[in-house]
């Protein structure tokens, strides 16, 4: 493998595997809809703003088990399980089994299963199963660096919306972004997918974790979008994920993704 990118055949395999796992997670999520499930909350007793369901945990267990067979030795950073099977490996899989769990447990159909793949810190592939898509049904957006954005395994072609005068941007933290109309979805991952697909012109995320945006960043970059992160120097172009003291699992930073004109409005 080179210092730049892994071989194209390996990237294609990785994207295909990520898309397969995202679809499997999506199937499990759909099966659980409407059924009674256990829901707990992270953090201090009485804290009720970060729910996790038994489905989150079960999906991550499934993904980890399949990766142990298909990508042995690769590192895995997941939201729900603190286990690093390949710490310091060049390849890292960042998993959020359900991004938008609060929506999911409430029955609001706006959530995603996000899988991002890093190579030496750079997002080189991603796959997001989304409960809502541009074709009004669940599906998987996927991509690898140097390739195209795909939807359910077929190259995605953006529709022409030249007549739309006010595009939409995601602002999970609220606020305005003239001359764009703003939307709140409750899922950083699904907003990244929508940016990649051109449904949103951009989004600004307050302080996502690695697993929230690793897959989505790969999609946006493959689709030709721009990604910025906020550092001590202000908003700068994103190049790679670098965790404190080299620990990727602890990465967290404000991020903005999308068209340049949308980012200018979101970051003004």
Please report which residue ranges of 37-157 form alpha helices under DSSP H: 54-70, 101-106
Q: 102-153 pLDDT, tens per residue?
A: 999 999 999 999 999 999 999 999 999 999 999 999 999 999 999 999 999 9
Give me the torsion for CA of 226, 194, 91, 80, rounded to 10°.
130
Q: Is 16 exposed, middle or buried (0-12, 13-18, 19+ CB in 10 A)?
A: middle
Query: What total of structural domains would you count in the chain?
Result: 1
Tokens of 133: 């898509």
Please report which residue ranges of the chain form alpha helices under DSSP H: 8-32, 54-70, 101-106, 188-196, 210-222, 260-266
pLDDT for the residue 2:
42
- Cα–Cα dist 78/83, whole Å: 8
Q: Are 115 and 18 in contact (CB under 8 A)?
A: yes
Residue 142 lies in a domain: yes
Residue 137 lies in a domain: yes
Residue 2 lies in a domain: no
Query: Domain containing 255: what range?
Result: 8-266
Q: 142-192 pLDDT, tens per residue?
A: 999 999 999 999 999 998 888 999 999 998 666 788 999 999 999 999 999
Q: What is the CATH number of the domain that holds 121?
A: 3.30.540.10
Nearest residue to 187 (alpha-carbon basis) of 97, 59, 100: 100
Total Cβ atoms within 10 A of residue 153: 13
């Amino acid at each position: 493998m080179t210092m730049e990118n892994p071989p194209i055949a390996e990237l294609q395999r990785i994207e295909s595997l990520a898309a397969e796992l995202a679809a499997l997670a999506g199937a499990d999520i759909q099966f659980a809809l409407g059924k009674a499930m256990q829901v707990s909350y992270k953090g201090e007793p009485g804290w009720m703003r970060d729910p996790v369901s038994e489905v989150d945990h079960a999906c991550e267990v499934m993904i980890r088990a399949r990766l142990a067979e298909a990508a042995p030795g690769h590192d895995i950073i997941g939201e729900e399980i603190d286990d690093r099977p390949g710490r310091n490996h060049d390849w890292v899989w960042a998993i959020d089994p359900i991004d938008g769990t609060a929506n999911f447990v409430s029955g609001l159909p706006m959530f995603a299963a996000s899988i991002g793949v890093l190579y030496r810190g750079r997002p080189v592939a991603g796959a997001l199963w989304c409960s809502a898509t541009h074709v009004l049904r669940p599906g998987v957006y996927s991509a690898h660096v140097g390739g195209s954005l795909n939807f359910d395994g077929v190259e995605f072609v953006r529709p022409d919306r030249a007549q739309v005068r006010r595009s939409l941007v995601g602002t999970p933290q609220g606020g305005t972004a003239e001359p764009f109309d703003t939307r709140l979805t409750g899922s950083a991952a699904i907003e990244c997918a929508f940016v990649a697909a051109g449904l949103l012109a951009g989004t600004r995320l307050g302080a996502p974790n690695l697993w929230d945006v690793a897959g989505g960043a790969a999609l946006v970059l493959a689709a030709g979008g721009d990604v910025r992160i906020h550092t001590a120097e202000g908003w700068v172009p994103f190049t790679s994920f670098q965790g404190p003291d080299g620990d990727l699992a602890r990465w967290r930073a404000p991020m903005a993704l999308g068209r340049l004109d949308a980012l200018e409005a979101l970051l003004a």
